[in-house]
């Protein structure tokens, strides 16, 4: 029960962060402004995360691995990502399209060098391997035969494993790679913003939550009597809400592999609806 409560609180914290990021991103057109605000949100959430772990004893190695491999890297990777976006935007040259494209391409090259340097661990993560998890993602169990960062002894041993930061960096770099590629594609293109459009709906919860909701509706046969491919449902939703849901099949796979509550968003909807009906809200 204690473990379930811990991971439930963790899920609430994560969902709250995801929602705040979406709201800030939609509210500010300037990426430097939004990144600064999001970094403050993430800093506060990481402090809360640290307190949660400090006061909690994991019941099993599996639970500890689950936290340090799947949960902590989410928060840290987003902090790294927005820090790098901010640094990239403040460092980019005030020059023509050619110089700007060259700058972004150089940043991409740095990421690919990192992948090369961390090839063994990167491949371990991509294969979703688990045979070294007990060494990589549990505290105070460093294997000195492994390639460890020299800074590991300066870190908080109650909040750090040998490889959770590495997986966070990899996740941040994947996000940054998408950002850099889109930035290169957008060079020379004018962006039209219709912020004053009347009646426009903006999805302010997380993309994962939206995919969970759509998948539930699809599996229940709510669209075209069930005679439609899920990819078509996703594309319709993306066009309607002007949102990019990325690799939605990968997201569904991650939802299916949740350890405790697989239908987090649907349960939140149920609780909110029951509360509204009980209290007589509109």
CA separation for the pair 218, 36 (Å, rounded):
37
The answer to whether the Cα torsion of 70, 71, 73, 78 is positive or negative is: positive
CA separation for the pair 15, 209 (Å, rounded):
9
Render pLDDT for 99-122 as a digit per residue (tens, 0 to 9): 999 999 999 998 888 888 888 888
Q: Which residues contact 260 (CB under 8 A, 6 or more apart)?
A: 4, 7, 8, 11
Poorest-pLDDT segment among 2-11, 106-115, 197-206, 215-224: 197-206
Residue 192 has pLDDT above 50, yes or no: no
Tokens of 240: 């309607």
Q: Average pLDDT of the chain?
A: 85
User: Of 162, 20, 178, 184, whose CA–CA distance to 84 is shortest?
Assistant: 178
CA distances from 30 to 26, 122, 246, 267, 270 (A): 10, 32, 22, 35, 36
Angle (CA) 25-237-260 rounded to 5° is 75
CA separation for the pair 69, 246 (Å, rounded):
22
> Would you say 88 and 107 are in contact if contact means Cβ atoms under 8 Å apart?
yes
CA distances from 232 to 3, 204, 212, 239 (A): 39, 22, 15, 11
At 1 the pLDDT is 54
Report for 45-49, 179-183, 253-257: range of highest mean pLDDT: 45-49
At 191 the pLDDT is 43
The answer to whether the Cα torsion of 160, 162, 168, 169 is positive or negative is: positive
Render pLDDT for 213-246 as a digit per residue (tens, 0 to 9): 999 999 998 988 888 888 888 888 887 887 888 7
Q: What percent of the chain has pLDDT over 90?
A: 37
> Would you say 125 and 164 are in contact if contact means Cβ atoms under 8 Å apart?
no
Render pLDDT for 142-191 as a digit per residue (tens, 0 to 9): 555 555 554 444 467 788 888 999 999 999 998 999 899 888 888 876 44
Render pLDDT for 65-99 as a digit per residue (tens, 0 to 9): 999 999 999 999 999 999 999 999 999 888 788 89
């Amino acid at each position: 029960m204690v473990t379930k409560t811990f991971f439930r609180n963790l899920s609430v914290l994560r969902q709250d962060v995801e929602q705040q990021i979406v709201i800030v991103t939609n509210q500010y057109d300037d990426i430097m402004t939004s990144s600064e605000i999001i970094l403050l949100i993430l800093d506060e959430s990481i402090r809360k995360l640290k307190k949660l772990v400090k006061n909690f004893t994991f019941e099993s190695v599996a639970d500890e691995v689950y936290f340090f491999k799947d949960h902590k890297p989410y928060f840290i990777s987003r902090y790294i990502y927005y820090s790098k976006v901010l640094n990239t935007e403040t460092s980019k040259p005030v020059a023509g399209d050619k110089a700007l494209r060259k700058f972004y391409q150089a940043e991409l090259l740095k990421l690919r060098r990192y992948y090369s340097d961390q090839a063994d661990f990167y491949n371990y993560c991509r294969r979703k391997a688990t045979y070294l998890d007990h060494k990589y993602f549990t505290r105070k169990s460093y294997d000195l035969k492994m390639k460890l960062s020299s800074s590991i002894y300066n870190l908080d041993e109650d909040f750090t494993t040998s490889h959770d930061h590495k997986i966070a960096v990899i996740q941040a770099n994947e996000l940054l790679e998408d950002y850099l590629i889109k930035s290169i594609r957008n060079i020379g293109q004018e962006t039209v913003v219709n912020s004053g459009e009347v009646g426009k709906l903006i999805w302010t919860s997380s993309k994962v939550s939206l995919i969970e909701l759509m998948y539930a509706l699809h599996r229940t046969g709510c669209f075209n009597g069930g005679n439609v491919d899920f990819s078509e449902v996703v594309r319709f939703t993306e066009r309607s809400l002007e949102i990019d849901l990325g690799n939605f099949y990968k997201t569904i796979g991650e939802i299916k592999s949740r350890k405790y509550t697989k239908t987090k968003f649907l349960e939140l909807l149920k609780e909110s609806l029951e509360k509204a009906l009980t209290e007589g809200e509109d």
